[in-house]
């Protein structure tokens, strides 16, 4: 039995798993230089200039790829979500249902609007927002629902779209992790009233910072446009302002980078999907680290995280944190993503809303599944690992097998 690296043995993956990030080359350099040399570094003032800018072109091609009618580039995924909430009409004092198992922004983007986040627990089978928990959280003050496609795996859009329609509530999809994910052959982000994406440095493709709002609704797009451009109407003069808002425009240098990265990503996505399937098959054979369920309705799967469920009974009862430490010592950068359900952050635990907001008494109303999953079960491999070669992917499985073989010893040494 090979000695664990944690106990002084040799590492299975001395060079790690993740490829260097971001991946870029001549196409990104050419695209950025072209805009740089043009001397026009923003998306432009007139409607025509905006449409012909790199941002404008990217908006059209990315929205189409996700089956939406329109896209609007913005400086990041946080602002994208905030704009989408404004565009569907969320007002101060409104409740917005948000996921507990996500990055903080899926919930905190509601706060600048003066609205009240109400958390919905996660489905332990898929780690996505649980439709039943969303429905249970609806009150007469609910004004919108935000769902996330966590890690890039889609939420159950059949049930969620139906329940949003039944309660006549706007639906916003936080797709920061889900570039390219499809549900029943249609891009996520096009099911709700708006979908929002992030292109921050660590995302599946990136312009350092960046984001986009996509929508099938012209009305939602126009409202988002006005909020992002100082309250100008699309057709108004440059010094005509109609609505309170701010400047949320993206630079065209970033637009150019996004166009080039998007082309690269569409090729990468094919190998990432094949590698995910390869890894999932091998891990299912081994047992102990269960991939999220396959589902025929998921016709394409983008990734921010490749998510796995840790089964301690298959590792002699060793806690997930100890298991992760053993894997990391072998060179496998497996983590627990954000580690804490959003409702447990001090930001929310110290927040006080009047008693009538029953769903927003965060110290009393918990989300047991999201809290348990983050604390004990969820394991996440960064999406960049899905670009690794076959030998490295085999090394991932070898690490898990080695830790499993040494599990009893691992437990004894820790206790
Ligand atoms: C689920 C989720 N939503 C929103 C965001 C916010 O995106 P940004 O960092 O571009 O503001 C992130 C960022 O990581 C995220 O993970």
Contacts of 33 (CB under 8 A, 6+ apart): none
- Ligand 1 binding pocket includes 106 (Cβ within 6 Å): yes
Q: How far apart are CA 335 and CA 324, in angstroms?
A: 7
* Cβ-based burial of 326 (10 A; exposed 0-12, middle 13-18, buried ≥19): buried
Q: Tens of pLDDT along the chain (415 residues)?
A: 899 999 999 999 999 997 899 999 999 999 999 999 999 999 988 888 999 999 999 999 999 999 999 999 999 999 999 999 999 999 999 999 999 999 999 999 999 999 999 999 999 999 999 999 999 999 999 999 999 999 999 999 999 999 999 999 999 999 999 999 999 999 999 999 999 999 999 999 999 999 999 999 999 999 999 999 999 998 888 899 999 999 999 999 999 999 999 999 999 999 999 999 999 999 999 999 999 999 999 999 999 999 999 999 999 999 999 999 999 999 999 999 999 999 999 999 999 999 999 999 999 999 999 999 999 999 999 999 999 999 999 999 999 999 999 999 999 987 5
- Ligand 1 binding pocket includes 82 (Cβ within 6 Å): no
Q: How far apart are CA 143 and CA 217, in angstroms?
A: 18
Count of all residues that appear for the chain in the document: 415
Note the pTM of the prediction, 2 decimals.
0.98
Residue with CA nearest ligand 1 atom 16 = 103
Which domains are present in the chain?
5-20+267-414 (3.90.1150.10), 26-262 (3.40.640.10)
- 115 and 139 Cβ atoms separated by less than 8 Å: no
- 150 and 176 Cβ atoms separated by less than 8 Å: no
What separation in Å is there between the alpha carbon of 119 and the centre of ligand 1?
A: 17
Is 358 tagged catalytic?
no
- 151 and 169 Cβ atoms separated by less than 8 Å: no
Which one of 37, 168, 238, 239 is the catalytic residue? 239
Between CA 379 and CA 390, with CA 384 as vertex, the angle to 5 degrees is 95
Residue by residue, DSSP assigns 10-78 as --S-TT-SPPPSS---HHHHHHHHHHHHHT--S--SSHHHHHHSHHHHHHHHHHHHTT-SEEEEES-HH
Tell me if the bond preceding 46 is cis, omega within 30° of 0. Answer: no
- Ligand 1 binding pocket includes 189 (Cβ within 6 Å): no
- Ligand 1 binding pocket includes 259 (Cβ within 6 Å): no
Is 177 tagged catalytic?
yes
């Amino acid at each position: 039995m090979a000695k664990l690296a944690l106990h002084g043995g040799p590492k299975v993956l001395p060079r790690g798993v993740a490829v260097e990030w971001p991946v870029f080359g001549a196409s990104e350099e050419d695209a950025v230089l072209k805009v740089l040399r043009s001397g026009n570094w923003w998306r432009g003032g007139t409607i025509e200039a905006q449409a012909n800018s790199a941002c404008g072109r990217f908006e059209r091609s990315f929205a189409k790829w996700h089956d939406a009618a329109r896209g609007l580039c913005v400086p990041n995924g946080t602002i994208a979500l905030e704009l989408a909430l404004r565009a569907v009409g969320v007002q101060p004092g409104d409740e917005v249902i948000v996921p507990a198992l996500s990055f903080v922004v899926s919930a905190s983007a509601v706060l600048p609007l003066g609205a009240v986040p109400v958390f919905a627990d996660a489905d332990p089978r898929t780690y996505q927002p649980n439709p039943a928990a969303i429905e249970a959280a609806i009150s007469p003050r609910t004004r919108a629902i935000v769902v996330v496609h966590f890690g890039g795996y889609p939420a159950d859009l059949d049930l969620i779209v139906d329940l949003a329609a039944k309660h006549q509530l706007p639906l916003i999809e936080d797709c920061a992790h889900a570039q390219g994910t499809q549900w029943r052959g249609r891009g996520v982000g096009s099911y709700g009233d708006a979908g929002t994406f992030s292109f921050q440095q660590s995302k599946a493709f990136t312009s350092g910072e960046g984001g986009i709002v996509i929508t099938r609704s012209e009305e939602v797009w126009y409202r988002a446009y006005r909020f992002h451009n100082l309250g100008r109407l699309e057709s108004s003069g440059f010094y005509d302002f109609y609505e309170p808002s701010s400047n949320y425009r993206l630079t065209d240098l970033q637009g150019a980078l996004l166009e080039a990265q998007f082309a690269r990503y569409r090729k990468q996505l094919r190998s990432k999907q094949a590698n995910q399937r390869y890894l999932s098959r091998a891990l299912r054979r081994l047992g102990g680290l269960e991939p999220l369920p396959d589902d025929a309705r998921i016709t394409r799967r983008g990734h921010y995280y490749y998510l796995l469920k840790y089964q301690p009974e298959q590792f002699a009862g060793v806690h997930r944190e100890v298991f992760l430490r053993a894997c990391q010592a072998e060179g496998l950068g497996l983590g627990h993503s954000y580690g804490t359900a959003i409702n447990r952050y001090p930001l929310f635990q110290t927040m006080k809303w009047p008693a009538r907001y029953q769903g927003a008494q965060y110290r009393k109303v918990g989300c047991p599944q999201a809290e348990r999953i983050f604390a004990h079960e969820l394991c996440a491999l960064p999406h960049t690992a899905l670009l690794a070669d076959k030998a490295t992917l085999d090394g991932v499985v070898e690490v898990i097998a080695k830790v499993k073989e040494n599990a009893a010893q691992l437990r004894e040494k820790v206790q």
